[in-house]
Amino acid sequence: DVKVTQSSRYLVKRTGEKVFLECVQDMDHENMFWYRQDPGLGLRLIYFSYDVKMKEKGDIPEGYSVSREKKERFSLILESASTNQTSMYLCASDGRVGAFFGQGTRLTVV
Amino acid sequence: QKEVEQNSGPLSVPEGAIASLNCTYSDRGSQSFFWYRQYSGKSPELIMSIYSNGDKEDGRFTAQLNKASQYVSLLIRDSQPSDSATYLCAVNRSGGNKLVFGAGTILRVKS
């Protein structure tokens, strides 16, 4: 079974902090994604990566950056956290037969 | 127009009935289509994928694809209370690997 692991289940951060969300997959997938999920808005793509050091902006990249130094690891960075970034963040890994999700990180920015 | 549209529901069906969930998409060049199930407080779980026109069956689930009408559906036969969840439709944008999701349909199966 594919395993996608996110570093934290719950996080509380202060406004202005730099926040790192980590994601690791164990299936050698090329594609990895970061989504946020908010009530009524569904899953929105923030960034995705199709190879090491390769990334593309999704639909809502503002205020976020990403890093993919190794194939198995994809990090989401909130440069300066704001309250409107309070959300559920979901990492996914895609082996071209559908994406598999991590358990999610519920981030609260206070 | 949203790229992937679903009726938000809730769709209520009695136990044992067929639940029919629908999804339309706007990118005519899309080639890959997926259904996910998401229980409250959990992350989405892939349940079906379909790539060509017609039906694809897996146990109690049947995915149907009509590319001409840009329409994907999921049928759940013999619905059980444990099927109560939000069902998300996802589509690969043409020319790339970006997965776009609909907002999801809430399904409630009443015993």
Q: Where are the alpha helices (DSSP H) in B45-102?
A: none
CB contact under 8 A, A48 and B46: no
Q: Residue B97 pLDDT more than 80?
A: no
What pLDDT, on the 0 to 100 scale, is given for residue B98? 83
* Cα distances (angstroms) measured from residue A23 to each of A31, A74, A89, B81, B101: 12, 5, 11, 33, 20
CB contact under 8 A, A101 and B34: no
What pLDDT, on the 0 to 100 scale, is given for residue A96? 74
> Which member of A45, A90, A101 has the closest CB to residue B98?
A45
* Residue of B54, B47, B66, B56 whose CA lies nearest to A99: B47
> Which member of B44, B49, B98 has the closest CB to residue A58?
B98
* Residue of B52, B65, B70, B64 whose CA lies nearest to B2: B70
- Which chain B residue lies closest to A45 (C-alpha atoms)? B100
What pLDDT, on the 0 to 100 scale, is given for residue A97? 79
- Written as tens digits, the pLDDT of chain A (110 aa) is 779 999 999 999 999 999 999 999 998 999 999 999 998 888 999 999 999 999 999 999 999 999 999 999 999 999 999 999 999 999 999 877 788 999 999 999 99
- Which chain A residue lies closest to B9 (C-alpha atoms)? A40
Instruction: Give φ, ψ of B83 to 5 degrees.
Output: -80, -10
Strands A42-51 and A31-38, bridge-based pairing: antiparallel
* Cα distances (angstroms) measured from residue A3 to each of A6, B4, B7, B20, B73: 10, 27, 31, 30, 28
What pLDDT, on the 0 to 100 scale, is given for residue A19? 97
A89, two tokens: 């963040």
Q: What is the pLDDT of residues B68-94, one digit of tens each?
A: 999 999 999 999 999 999 999 999 887
B88, two tokens: 């998300």
Task: Compare B2 and A79 and report the one with higher pLDDT.
Answer: A79
CA distance B79 to chain A (A): 24
CB contact under 8 A, B46 and A100: yes
Q: What is the pLDDT of residues B56-67, one digit of tens each?
A: 999 999 999 999
Q: How confident is the model at residue B96 (pLDDT cuts 50, 70, 90)?
A: low
Q: Please list the residues that pair with B92 across neighbouring strands.
A: B99
What pLDDT, on the 0 to 100 scale, is given for residue B69? 95
CB contact under 8 A, B45 and A101: yes
